[in-house]
Amino acid sequence: MTTKENKTPTRGLKNRHIQLIAIAGTIGTGLFLGAGKSIHLTGPSIIFVYLVIGALMFVLLRAIGEMLYQDPNQHSFLNFVSRYLGTKPGYFIQWSYLLVVVFVAMAELTAIGTYMHFWLPGIPVWITEVVVLALLTGLNTLNSRFFGEAEFWFGMIKIVAIIGLILTAIILMFSHYHSGADTVSLRNISDGFQFFPNGLSKFFESFQMVMFAFVAMEFIGMTAAETENPRTTLKKAINQIPIRIVLFYIGALLAIMSIYRWQEIPADQSPFVMIFQLIGIKWAAALINFVVLTSAASALNSALFSTTRNLYSLSKINGDKILKPFTKFSKSGIPLNALLCTAILILLTPFISMIPAISNAFVFITSVATNLFLVVYLMTLLAYLKYRKSNDFDPEGFVLPGASFFVPIAIGGFILIFISLFFFKDTVVPAIGSVIWIVIFGLITFFRKTKTAE
C-alpha cells in the first residue's frame, strides 16, 4: 500500500465509538481477576480508595480534555508537554510513553496467549499470539472506524459481564438468598465495618493496586483527532467518566461484597467466577476467561492505536530524519508505517515468551512501564498548568472548574502514590527500575541536540 503526506487523519470514529472506548478504558482485567486481591487488602474501605483514585484520574482527564478542546487536531495529548514545557521534556515523555505502551501491549499479548491456551491447549502459545497480533494489526490498517467498531464490541462484552454481576446481586438480595452461612445483603458490607481492618499499611498498599487498575484511562486523549465532532464528543465522554466509575467499579465491588462477606473472598481467585458458579453457571470459569480475553484484546488493540499515533506525533514534532517515514499516511488515513513498526516491536513478545530465563525480567519490565504512567500523568498536569497561563487558554472552552485547587491536589496524589511504591516488597524493585530509566533517559534527552520539524 502506498503512503502519502496528510495533515489530518480520517475522522472515522463516531460518538458511540468514543463513549464505549471511554468505558473500556475504565474497565480492565484488574477488576475481573484482581478484585479479590484488592478487597482482601483492606475490605469495604477499598471503595473509598477507588473513589479517590477515580477523582484524581478525572482531574487528569478534564485537564487533557480542556487542552484538546482548545486544539482538537492533536494526535496525542502528549504534544502539549512539548508545547508548554519544552521540546526536551516533550521528547522524554513521548518516548517514555511510547515504550510504556509497547511493553503493556507485550504483556497483554502474553496474557492473550495464556487465555487462549485454556481452550486450545494443544496449540503452542506463540502461534496464537502471532495470529491475534496479525488480525488486530490488519484491523488497524483499514480505517479508524474499524478500530472503533472493534473497541465498541470489546467494551460491550465487559459491560454486559459487570451489569450481569450487579443484577445477580440485586436478584439474590431481594430473594434473601443464602451464600454459605450468610444471607445476601448490604449488611455483609456494613456489619463490623472498619476502615483499616488489616492495618494502615495494607490500606495504603491498596492505593497502588487500584492506581494500576485505572492505567490507560487517558487513552481517550489519543482519539480526539479522529472523531467526527471532536469537541462535542470528547466533552461528553469525559464528563460521563465519574458516572461510569461509580456504576461499573463501585457497583461491581458492592455486588461482590454483598454476596460474600469480604473476609471469605480469597485473594487468589476471581470473585466473578465464584458468583457465577454460585448461581449455577458451571462454565463460569470459561465465561470469565472469555471476558478477560476480550479485555486483553481490547487493551492490545488500544495500544496499537495509541502507540501508532504517538509515534506519528513524535516523528512530526521532533523532525528527526530517521523518523520521517512515520509521518506518512496511507490512503485510508492511517499512519501505516508507524503502525507496522509498532506491530514489529510487539511481535518480539512470542520470542521473549519462549525464553524461560527471561520471564522474571519481562514481568519486571512491564511493572516498570506501569510505574512510568505516573510520571506521564505528572508531566501532563504540569503542562496543563503552563497552558492555563498561556495565550492559548480559552476561558470559554471546556474549562476545568477549580483548576488552581484540584490540579495541585492531583499532582500531590500521584507523587504520594509513586513514593509509596518504594515501601512494599512487590513494587519496590520496579519503582527503582523506573527511577533508573528516568535518570538515564533523562540525561540522554538533556544532552540531545534539539531538532525542529521541517
pLDDT tens-digit map of 343-401: 998 888 777 766 665 555 566 666 777 788 999 999 999 999 999 999 999 999 999 99
Higher pLDDT, 212 or 12: 212
Which range is least confidently modeled, 41-50, 89-98, 179-188, 430-439? 179-188
Name 10's Cβ contacts closer than 8 Å, sequence gap at least 6. 143, 144, 145, 226, 332, 333, 334
pLDDT of residue 401: 94
Is the dihedral angle over the CA atoms 353, 291, 150, 298 positive or is it negative? negative
pLDDT of residue 221: 66
Helix (H) or strand (E) holding 330: strand 329-330
pLDDT tens digit string along 36-81? 888 989 999 999 999 999 999 999 999 999 999 999 877 678 889 9
Pairing of strands 3-4, 182-183: unpaired
Report d(CA 386, CA 376) in Å as an integer: 16
| Assigned CATH class of 13-447 | mainly alpha
For residue 152, which phi and psi values (nearest 5 degrees)?
Answer: -60, -50
Q: How confident is the model at residue 226 (pLDDT cuts 50, 70, 90)?
A: low
Report d(CA 390, CA 385) in Å as an integer: 9
| CB 318, CB 79: distance < 8 Å | no
Report d(CA 316, CA 324) in Å as an integer: 7
3-state secondary structure of 42: helix
What b/e sequence results for 298-325 when a residue is b if at least 16 CB atoms lie within 10 Å of its CB, and e otherwise?
Answer: bbbbbbbbbbbbbbbbbbbbbeeeebee
- Nearest Cα to Cα of residue 252 among 154, 170, 152: 170
- Nearest Cα to Cα of residue 258 among 164, 320, 190: 190
Residue with cell 491456551: 117
Report d(CA 327, CA 330) in Å as an integer: 10
pLDDT of residue 365: 67
Average pLDDT, whole number, for the chain?
A: 83
**Whole-Å CA distances, 437 to 79, 222, 312, 348, 443:** 21, 24, 23, 21, 10
pLDDT tens digit string along 141-180? 877 677 777 778 888 888 888 888 899 899 999 988 887 6
Name 422's Cβ contacts closer than 8 Å, sequence gap at least 6. 428, 431, 432
Report d(CA 90, CA 80) in Å as an integer: 8
Report d(CA 408, CA 415) in Å as an integer: 10
Residue with cell 479522529: 226
Can you read off the three cell numbers belonging to residue 14? 463516531
pLDDT of residue 364: 67
- Nearest Cα to Cα of residue 129 among 113, 146, 117: 113
| CB 364, CB 370: distance < 8 Å | no
- Can you give the pTM of this predicted structure? 0.86
Report d(CA 77, CA 97) in Å as an integer: 11
pLDDT of residue 105: 84
- Nearest Cα to Cα of residue 366 among 93, 126, 116, 105: 105
Q: How confident is the model at residue 84 (pLDDT cuts 50, 70, 90)?
A: very high
pLDDT of residue 386: 97
- Nearest Cα to Cα of residue 272 among 163, 382, 407: 163
3-state secondary structure of 9: coil
Could you tell me where the beta strands, DSSP code E, fall in 158-279?
A: 178-179, 182-183
Can you read off the three cell numbers belonging to residue 126? 506463540
pLDDT of residue 181: 65
Amino acid code (one letter) for 344: I
Structural domain spans, the chain:
13-447
DSSP code, position 331:
T
pLDDT of residue 357: 59
Q: What number is the average pLDDT over the span 269-288?
A: 82
pLDDT tens digit string along 285-336? 888 888 888 888 888 888 888 888 888 877 877 666 777 787 777 777 788 8
pLDDT of residue 415: 95
| CB 218, CB 61: distance < 8 Å | yes
For the chain, the C-alpha Rg in angstroms (whole number) is 22
DSSP code, position 356:
G
% of the chain surpassing 90 pLDDT: 28
